[in-house]
Structure 1
């Protein structure tokens, strides 16, 4: 049985400029644009970062995507939106979620893929989704390069790992990071521990950190940790686009991407 971080989703007011910055700075390519998100009033683009995925969603038009537009207004613009995890046995999660008082905001299904998008008022921090793909099982869990519905049928053909080789964590900020961390630990059935000036829990392949509000934008997904093969090239391309650059992170789409975190 496995449970891993598989995808991070950003929300932007305007899709294409943020996608262009991510593709250029991280030297990655769009593998899929999912027409199904149109039912939520959104359009999107997915990019593989190693065997993980980074998605950007944006409203198709004003007034078409109420939840995303509320999020943009609440956090003052583009930023982190969703933390999406992958497991081999979704059925065992449904009674647990009910027992912890977490509502299902949107059940998702396409082909072999099935997901449970959880209500953000019950989780706090960010939209949290737990998903599974039928057939992705094995003695040590699914192979990380198996089919993954949201990424389209041929995501491997778009894989580039010269700069970024994967996503290693997510950083949620809050006025009370311990309280938020304990809630996510209860939902995800993982142990929470104190770490530096915040708290953290581990999934099989990544760490979710709970930190103080560092930018004054309130509770939300403020940072993403990356495994990076060419940090200097990444910083150089970010600077060329006049994006905020520091020794340990760059800022794209309102999110701090921590290099090697």
Structure 2
């Protein structure tokens, strides 16, 4: 089993206005509204960035897990979706570790498993195996035509015990944590100390970063250096 890829990062927000702001500031293409997320009490918007995806989910039901997440700690990084090339081995690994799979699906073009956040910690984690490897059902039809240039470079998770969480995620993916970091096939996951388990930062390598920062200022978003704050997430720009 090769190291996983980071394919999709998810923000839980109170309104799809967050998606509109991200589209404008990052100069993204049209998002895909996935009707399938209604199963989880959500509406959403999925943007393609290169062959990766930035999703905003908004709870529509009081008992939706995303509503409980927001009520507990505010808007923020909700979910990370990783691509594996061996779902059978990954599922066997997490089952052996006692990490519960709270939702699984096997379709002709993709298999996916959501791991219980209480067991893995830090965020809801999904591990997916698309077929063919370059495809991505969750991006919607025609996502390549709607894709904006760029890529995710990293994500940051805060937790009271960064070493323990890094080791747990490493065991899940068959990787060895290196000084509170996990090196994936195409990006890095950083684990830092904080008061609670929370995904707090997404790194994006994106063209025209100076113009992106200027648009963020025009939208009155908090900015510092090359970082933009929106809906409980810091977007750190590279490029």
TM bin (shorter chain): over 0.9
Aligned to 2:96: 99
Is 1:167–1:227's contact at 8 Å kept on the other side of the alignment?
A: yes
Aligned to 2:67: 69
Aligned to 1:30: 30
1:107 is displaced (CA, Å) by 0.8
Query: What are the equivalent positions in structure 2 for 1:81-230 lying under 5 Å apart?
Result: 81-136=78-133, 146-161=134-149, 165-194=150-179, 199-213=180-194, 218-230=196-208
1:248 is displaced (CA, Å) by 2.8
Aligned to 2:214: 236
RMSD: 1.5
* TM-score (structure 2 length as normaliser): 0.95
Aligned to 2:7: 6
Aligned to 1:246: 224
Q: Write the distance in 1 (CA, Å) between the matches of 2:212 and 2:173.
A: 33
> Closer, same or farther in 2 for the Cα pair 1:34/1:110, shift >3 Å?
farther
Is 1:80–1:255's contact at 8 Å kept on the other side of the alignment?
A: yes
Q: Write the distance in 2 (CA, Å) between the matches of 1:110 and 1:91.
A: 14
Aligned to 1:42: 42
Q: Matched residue pairs, number? A: 238
SS of residue in 1 equivalent to 2:175: coil
SS of residue in 1 equivalent to 2:154: strand
Aligned to 2:77: 80
Moved over 4 A (4+): none
Is 2:152–2:202's contact at 8 Å kept on the other side of the alignment?
A: yes
Q: Write the distance in 1 (CA, Å) between the matches of 2:124 and 2:76.
A: 12
SS of residue in 1 equivalent to 2:176: coil
Q: Write the distance in 1 (CA, Å) between the matches of 2:130 and 2:51.
A: 15
Is 2:104–2:112's contact at 8 Å kept on the other side of the alignment?
A: yes
Q: Write the distance in 2 (CA, Å) between the matches of 1:104 and 1:186.
A: 15
Q: Write the distance in 1 (CA, Å) between the matches of 2:99 and 2:189.
A: 19
SS of residue in 1 equivalent to 2:236: strand
